[in-house]
Amino acid sequence: MGRAITRVAHAKLNLALAVTGKRDDGYHALRSVFARLDLADDVRVAPGRRLEVRNTADVGGEDIAARAVKALAAATGRAPHAFVRIRKRIPLAAGLGGGSSDAAATLRALAELWKVDVDLETIASQVGSDVPFFVHDASLAMVEGRGEIVRALPPAELHVVVVRPTLRLSTAAVFAELRMDERSADAHVTALEAALRAGRATAEFVRIHAENDLLPAAQRLCPAIASWREAAAARGVRLSLTGSGPTLFAVADDRADALRIARILRRAGLRARPYLASV
């Protein structure tokens, strides 16, 4: 069977996200600060005689990890044969990047097993917009373009509370719902990037700049997002959107504050859990 490689595939949060334009290829141009989260899937990759992906969750349709195997095989002239096992903990279609992270872990593990030296970030961008961030292996990064431009930022320990609805939202549907006038100047992203780069981003600073241009579109498709945010705001907690949602998060001052916020949100009926971001 040969050896196997197991990788931890972290979730991500978009601390801030701006949609800056629409590209000729139909995708939207983004500027976003990505942070890795201490919530992760396990991905095990082994050589195989065919392509098989087993996932503890039902992803419906072809697993993005299978697309990753095929993309690396095509780029290196090999047969797309591998055995991938994914132990899913990151909720699906939640805005937490779980599938993209699994795909990146698969690419990295397979490149090691096959001993191929290729530009994984270019291959990653063909697999999915968020995959290059995970391949880059930075705990915190500025991501631009369609997601293919990734620049690491200095790590900053951030305590957050993640509100994890059971609903799913399709990224494509949210982008399709976005109105031209909802694109912002990207001042919130630029300010956050500068503060993180200079190591002077306090929790309060991150909280204020944690804005996401996809929020109005996500709320139109999933009106519950507005109700959850209002319920939290009435209790003094500001909830921001990650990715295309529907997952929301609050930025806490420290671990004790995160526990306090999670308690408040749970009392309001929300599924809230404290996590560390930028891990």
Which residues are catalytic, by number? 12, 130
Alpha-carbon distance 14 to 32, whole Å? 6
Query: Which one of residues 133, 175, 228, 275 is an interface residue with ligand C5P (CB under 6 A)?
Result: 175
Rounded to a whole number of angstroms, the minimum distance from the CB of residue 213 to ligand C5P is 11
Rounded to a whole number of angstroms, the minimum distance from the CB of residue 126 to ligand C5P is 9
Told to check if 126 binds ligand C5P by CB under 6 A, we report: no
Q: How many residues bind ligand C5P (CB under 6 A)?
A: 11
For the chain, what is the HEC assignment?
CCCCEEEEEEEEEEEEEEEEEECCCCCEEEEEEEEEEEEEEEEEEECCCCEEEEECCCCCCCCHHHHHHHHHHHHHCCCCCEEEEEECCCCCCCCCCHHHHHHHHHHHHHHHHCCCCCCHHHHHHHHCCCHHHHHHCCCEEEEEECCCEEEECCCCCEEEEEECCCCCCCHHHHHHHCCHHHCCCCHHHHHHHHHHHCCCCCHHHHHHHCCECCHHHHHHHCCHHHHHHHHHHCCCCCCEECCCCCCEEEEECCHHHHHHHHHHHHHCCCCEEEEEECC
Q: What angle do CA 153, 155, 159 make, to 5 degrees?
A: 125
Told to check if 180 binds ligand C5P by CB under 6 A, we report: no
Told to check if 97 binds ligand C5P by CB under 6 A, we report: no
Roughly what angle, to the nearest 10 degrees, separates helices 98-113 and 120-127?
140
Give the interface segment with ligand C5P, choosing from 22-30, 159-167, 207-215, 222-230 (CB under 6 A): 22-30
**Token digits of residue 189:** 């992203």
Told to check if 12 binds ligand C5P by CB under 6 A, we report: no
Query: Which one of residues 28, 44, 136, 273 is an interface residue with ligand C5P (CB under 6 A)?
Result: 28
Between residues 129 and 139, which has the closer beta carbon with respect to ligand C5P? 129
**Binding residues for ligand C5P restricted to 138-167, rule: CB under 6 A:** 146-147
Rounded to a whole number of angstroms, the minimum distance from the CB of residue 16 to ligand C5P is 15
Give the interface segment with ligand C5P, choosing from 25-33, 80-88, 214-222, 265-273 (CB under 6 A): 25-33
Give the interface segment with ligand C5P, choosing from 35-43, 168-176, 230-238, 265-273 (CB under 6 A): 168-176
**Token digits of residue 54:** 């087993």
Query: Which one of residues 129, 212, 240, 278 is an interface residue with ligand C5P (CB under 6 A)?
Result: 129
**Binding residues for ligand C5P restricted to 228-247, rule: CB under 6 A:** none
Alpha-carbon distance 226 to 239, whole Å? 10
Told to check if 30 binds ligand C5P by CB under 6 A, we report: yes
Residue nearest to ligand C5P (CB): 129
Told to check if 70 binds ligand C5P by CB under 6 A, we report: no
Rounded to a whole number of angstroms, the minimum distance from the CB of residue 30 to ligand C5P is 5
Rounded to a whole number of angstroms, the minimum distance from the CB of residue 124 to ligand C5P is 11
Contacts with ligand C5P, residue ranges (CB under 6 A): 27-28, 30, 128-130, 146-147, 171-172, 175
